[in-house]
Amino acid sequence: MNSKCVALFWNPVVRLDIWGTNTVIYSGQKRTSVKDYLFEQPNTSFYVFKKDPKRGWYFVGKTVANRRVRDRIIDRKEDNYRAPLWEMTFEPSCHFTDSITQIIDIYHQNAPRNTYLTKDVLLHTLLDAHPVSKAALSTGIIPFQTDSF
């Protein structure tokens, strides 16, 4: 696999990201910069999942990071933390097909109406992704690797 894959989980209740027609201004994590490097590497595909209170996580599209709009601020003395912002190009799921999006589309088409898709089922069962620790599942940015594709 030539490109890195990252699952980007977006909860519209919590996140205040700005969505345009084909761009997203995405705010990263406030207190940790461990995964910032993912946004700065070329050929990183971000698979965006949106949270629905009844359906769980569903696939909405794919993004590629263009540039950092705002740097991270960590001021421990003043207890001031500000997340970085990245400008990303967004493509809705209907604009492209690849094996990952096809698997997710098939799942959504065949799942019973009342099925709730969790991050764990999405990454481990559907995408056969590894290594994803239980601790990583609590974050909104999860890099994954799979041998199936």
Residue 12 pLDDT greater than 80, yes or no? no
Pairwise pLDDT comparison (111 vs 97), residue with the higher score:
111
Pairwise pLDDT comparison (130 vs 91), residue with the higher score:
91
Q: Residue 2 is encoded by which pair of tokens?
A: 């030539």
Average of per-residue pLDDT values in the chain? 78
CA 146 centroid distance within chain: 16
pLDDT digits (tens, 9 = 90+) for 90-110: 887 776 667 777 887 788 788
Pairwise pLDDT comparison (32 vs 107), residue with the higher score:
107
- N- to C-terminal Cα separation, the chain: 8
Q: Residue 107 is encoded by which pair of tokens?
A: 């799942």
Type of residue at 74: I
